[in-house]
Structure 1
């Protein structure tokens, strides 16, 4: 049986592959090549200095175009020549609709990674139902995101929503709880001058919805119980560079106002491949989001490194973190004390940290590998192509 042809269209914001891309491009780069034995795939993205105009992503052909207003029209022109059975458009409902209109004989799938592009200012609520009604499938990464999409759609659209949870390569991370890993960690802490410090890590974009201001407030309480704590804040407001924003400036002011300068280190933007070494340093990873996260890939990354998580009980995060087993889930509405108590509990109990860290790694291996995501995606696309 001939493999169905599937075109995977990136949002056109970042080059794929790139260490400075968003999670959308990383998902595509990790997942699509693993389905190559079942699907004949091509990836469509933008040009960049770090990649040729045409090349491949781990063996999958990648067509690249100039970034900007003409990106989608060029993609559509090439799609008309290639005539894929299925086009999978990532995170851009309006683009998926335009491709649906241009290629009436192809099946069109919309893969949503968050609620951002199905909400204003990107999309009016009354437009969402019309655009999504034209899709043959809508892939979401969590039951939470699926429920959000379903709440604004007619029954016929709800039946086309399918869940494909994200994954990870555990091999990209060196789990904490081995003699070799502990020796490497100790040496790196010495190199940074952080020997004897208990490391709490935040990794993500510095936006109000990510809740770093809450974490700084909670840190006041943690410092009293664990005076050797060091919070590493790895991130910036934008992917790829460290441009200051009013929010990032407010975090620095907040740190000084709370007299936390000895306990906080801003690391600015960290390319994704370098994050693995930061997880290795961490005793606890905190995900203090106040705005609903559709999935929260950072939770999986921490778990793959054998690091327990303290995360907000919102959005799709509870579908990833098992409360009391792989980490602690806290309610944003309960203030910062609950978050602080969870961090303190883990920092003061190394046996609990190890148990939760090992349980997190086991959970990743059991349920959250990229191979799992790729198998589900291949089945969704195949089913769609053969209808």
Structure 2
């Protein structure tokens, strides 16, 4: 039987593949090629200096067009020529709606990665219902995100919501708890001049919703209990470059006000392939979000590296981190006492860190591999194509 044609449309914000893209492009690049044995897939993205107009992405044809207002019209023109059975549009409801209007004979799926583009200022509640109603399926990455979509949608939309949790390639990360990894870690810490320091790692964008200001508040308490602690902050406000924003500048002022200069290093933006070596240095990974995270891939990355997580009990994070087993889930508290207490407990107990880290790696291998996500996605595409 001939494999059905499935087109995957990226948001058109970053080149795919790229070490400096957002998590949306990373999800597509990691997942879609793994389902190519069941589907004829093509990926649509934007042009960039580092990628040709057309290329091969692990066996999948990737077509690239000019970024901006002309991107979706160009994609639609090509889709009309190719006539896919299913078009999976990622994180852009308005683009999915335009493609639905232009290709009445194709099934159109909207895959949402966050709440960003189904909330103000991008859309109001009425627009969400209008744009989602024609979709043949809405795929979300967590039960939490599914509940948000359902709350703003009529019954016809709620019945079409499917959950496909994300994954990871564990081979991309060297787990902490092996003799080779520990030896490499010790050598790298010595190279940086951080030998003898206990490392807390933050990875992510420097925007208010990620809660790095919470982490600095907690760190003041951690320093009193663990004077050798060092917080590494790997990220910037934007994907791909280190432009200093008012919020990022405020974090540096907060660090100085709290007299934490000896305990914090801002590493700015780190391309994704280089993150594995940072996780290898960490004793604890902190995810201090204050706004709803639909999923939070950073939790999986830490777990794949065998590093326990201290994360906010918010959004879809509790679907990833098992409280008391692979990490600690914390609520906001005065002075961030709860977050600080969780970090102190882990930093003081290497056996607990190892037990939680190994449990996290096991959890990843059981249910959070890209092979798992790709299989579910492929089955969803096949079902849509046969409807």
Taking structure 1 as the reference length, the TM-score comes to 0.99
Between the aligned partners of 1:333 and 1:215, the Cα distance in structure 2 is: 12
Counterpart of 2:237 in structure 1 is 237
3-state DSSP of counterpart to 1:108: strand
Counterpart of 2:307 in structure 1 is 307
- For residues 68-117 of structure 1, give each alpha carbon's deviation from its aligned partner in whole angstroms, at most 9, with x where no partner exists: 11000000000000000000000000000000000000000000000000
3-state DSSP of counterpart to 1:329: strand
Contact kept in structure 1, 2:43 and 2:60, CA below 8 Å:
yes
3-state DSSP of counterpart to 1:332: coil
Alignment of 1:47-86 (within 5 A): 47-86=47-86
Counterpart of 2:228 in structure 1 is 228
Counterpart of 1:198 in structure 2 is 198
Between the aligned partners of 1:103 and 1:170, the Cα distance in structure 2 is: 38
Structure 2: segments with no counterpart, 5+ residues: none
Between the aligned partners of 1:333 and 1:253, the Cα distance in structure 2 is: 22
3-state DSSP of counterpart to 2:346: helix
Counterpart of 1:330 in structure 2 is 330
* Structure 1 residue runs of 4 or more that deviate by more than 3 Å after TM superposition: none
Counterpart of 1:212 in structure 2 is 212
Counterpart of 1:41 in structure 2 is 41
1:181 aligns with 2:181: yes
- For residues 181-220 of structure 1, give each alpha carbon's deviation from its aligned partner in whole angstroms, at most 9, with x where no partner exists: 0000000000000000000000000000000000000000
Between the aligned partners of 1:7 and 1:120, the Cα distance in structure 2 is: 28
Residue 306 of structure 1 deviates from its aligned partner by 0.1
Residue 335 of structure 1 deviates from its aligned partner by 5.0
Taking structure 2 as the reference length, the TM-score comes to 0.99
Counterpart of 2:251 in structure 1 is 251
- For residues 260-281 of structure 1, give each alpha carbon's deviation from its aligned partner in whole angstroms, at most 9, with x where no partner exists: 0000000000000000000000
Between the aligned partners of 1:125 and 1:48, the Cα distance in structure 2 is: 35
- For residues 350-377 of structure 1, give each alpha carbon's deviation from its aligned partner in whole angstroms, at most 9, with x where no partner exists: 0000000000000000000000000000
Residue 332 of structure 1 deviates from its aligned partner by 2.3
Structure 1: segments with no counterpart, 5+ residues: none
CA RMSD in angstroms, aligned pairs only: 0.6
